[in-house]
């Protein structure tokens, strides 16, 4: 069975998106680990980054 180019592109695109999401998860885990090792709260980190604390909470950092 010959796969269509569109089908193959869709599979490649989904794989790329999964890898991107994985990268963001790893970055978030690293930020969380560093934040906790420095005893920073999410509120303190948000203040230092000049972002809303809701943004930090939403990302789970």
What angle separates helix 42-49 from helix 5-37, to the nearest 10 degrees? Answer: 110
Q: Is residue 22 part of a domain?
A: no
**pLDDT at residue 33, as a whole number:** 92
Domain of residue 60 covers 28-61
Q: pTM here?
A: 0.60
**pLDDT at residue 60, as a whole number:** 61
Which residues touch 47 (CB under 8 Å, ≥6 apart)? 53
Q: Which residue has the higher pLDDT, 15 or 2?
A: 15
Q: Is residue 39 part of a domain?
A: yes
Number of domains in the chain: 1
Give 6-61 pLDDT, tens digit per residue: 777 777 777 777 777 787 888 888 989 999 999 999 899 889 988 888 877 766 66
Q: Is residue 1 part of a domain?
A: no
Distances (CA, A) of 57 to 14, 26, 29, 33, 42: 27, 16, 13, 15, 7
């Amino acid at each position: 069975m010959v796969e269509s180019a569109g089908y193959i592109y869709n599979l490649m695109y989904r794989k790329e998106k999964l890898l991107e999401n994985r990268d963001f998860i790893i970055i978030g885990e690293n930020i969380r680990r560093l934040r906790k090792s420095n005893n920073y709260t999410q509120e303190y980190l948000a203040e230092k980054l000049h972002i809303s604390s809701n943004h930090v909470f939403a990302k789970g950092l």
